[in-house]
Amino acid sequence: MASSESKTAVVAAFVGNFAIAIAKLVVAGITGSSAMLSEGIHSIADTTNQGLLLRGLTVSKRGATVAHPFGRGKEVFFWSFMVAVMLFVGGSVLSITHAIEAIRDPHVPESVGLSFIVLGVAFVIEAYVFSVALKHFNSERGSRSMWRSIRATKDASTLVVLLEDSAALLGIVFAASGLGMALATDNGIWDGIASLMIGILLAVVAVVLAAETKALLIGEAASRADRSAIRMNILSVPLVESVGRLLTMHMGPEEILVNADVDLIDGITDSQVEEAIDQVEAAIRNVLPSASNIFVELESRRG
């Protein structure tokens, strides 16, 4: 269910950004606005990024193979990291480069009214896409703060859409403000400044996305609360004496690997060992239904 909602958010973002990108670039060509060109570049980067995410979501659902015994759930994390790279190189760097040129050689954009119309329509579309991603994100974060949830979420695709569309909405505000100031003061430098602010905004979003997806890509453990709950549930199994090393790792947004060293009580039979394994696995899945791979290392105290 969660993966389906994530894909819905990504598809909505892809369609919306594609339409917005075309409109912004056409208007940028007509008006000569640096801010509108930066916004067009921003939307192109976003559209490309949604395509990468859709690729990741599709491939991540493929089952385990000999070459990939744990499946390919981490594909989502990889492509989300690539989105951060694309956003920085394809969005931020180009916008800042063009902004510097516009500030050095400023000119007041033409047909500003057309730019405001396109920005207004873009704001409505981006707001809708943002609401789709935010609804899914809020359903998972519960009572946690927004920033804490961003740091804790494992749904990289929804996180990308949420942050990208937050930046898109703020970028539209920057572009509209720059155009308004350029028109009011008859000084095109404000248009260049708006473009510069958009570029810096994209760089900040790219850095945040890269940091969050990097942790998942290299192997991030389940939350401390989940690990504590797993340990307690295992200890509730009658045949378990103690729990040693407990290792967890996210293999995808909805897939977790669990490895537990378990000490058993003295004098148990082989059939009781098998029973203990089943009970330990059930105890783990009571806490983490998404535990796709569970490995129990038994260390009986009989020796």
Task: Give, for all 303 residues of the chain, the pLDDT tens digit.
Answer: 455 666 777 777 788 778 888 888 888 888 888 878 888 887 887 788 788 878 877 787 777 777 787 878 888 888 888 888 888 877 788 888 888 888 888 887 777 788 888 888 888 888 887 887 788 777 776 667 777 777 777 777 777 778 888 888 898 899 889 888 988 888 889 988 988 998 898 888 888 888 888 888 888 888 888 899 999 999 999 988 899 899 999 888 778 899 999 998 887 888 888 898 899 999 999 988 888 889 998 875 544
Phi/psi of residue 133, nearest 5 degrees: -70, -40
Q: Structural domain boundaries of the chain?
A: 2-218, 224-300
Q: What is the DSSP letter of 89?
A: I
Whole-angstrom Cα distance, residue 80 to residue 214?
A: 9
**At which residue do the structure tokens 């703060």 appear?**
145
Task: Please tell me the distance from the alpha carbon of residue 160 to that of residue 205, in angstroms, as a whole number.
Answer: 9
CB 160 within 8 A of CB 205: no
**Contact between 112 and 31 (Cβ < 8 Å):** yes
- Measure the CA angle with vertex 94, ends 193 and 19; round to 5°: 95
Any idea which residue has 């510097």 for tokens?
A: 100
Close Cβ partners of 244 (under 8 Å, ≥ 6 residues apart) = 260, 261, 262, 263, 297, 299
Q: What angle do CA 223, 79, 162 make, to 5 degrees?
A: 65
Distance, in Å, from the CA atom of 189 to the CA atom of 195, rounded to the nearest integer, reads: 10
Q: pTM score, two decimals?
A: 0.73
- The confidence score (pLDDT) of residue 202 equals 86
Domain 2-218 is in which class?
mainly alpha
Unique residue bearing structure tokens 């290792």? 247
Indicate the CATH number of 224-300 among 3.30.70.1350, 3.40.630.10, 3.40.50.1970, 3.60.40.10. Answer: 3.30.70.1350
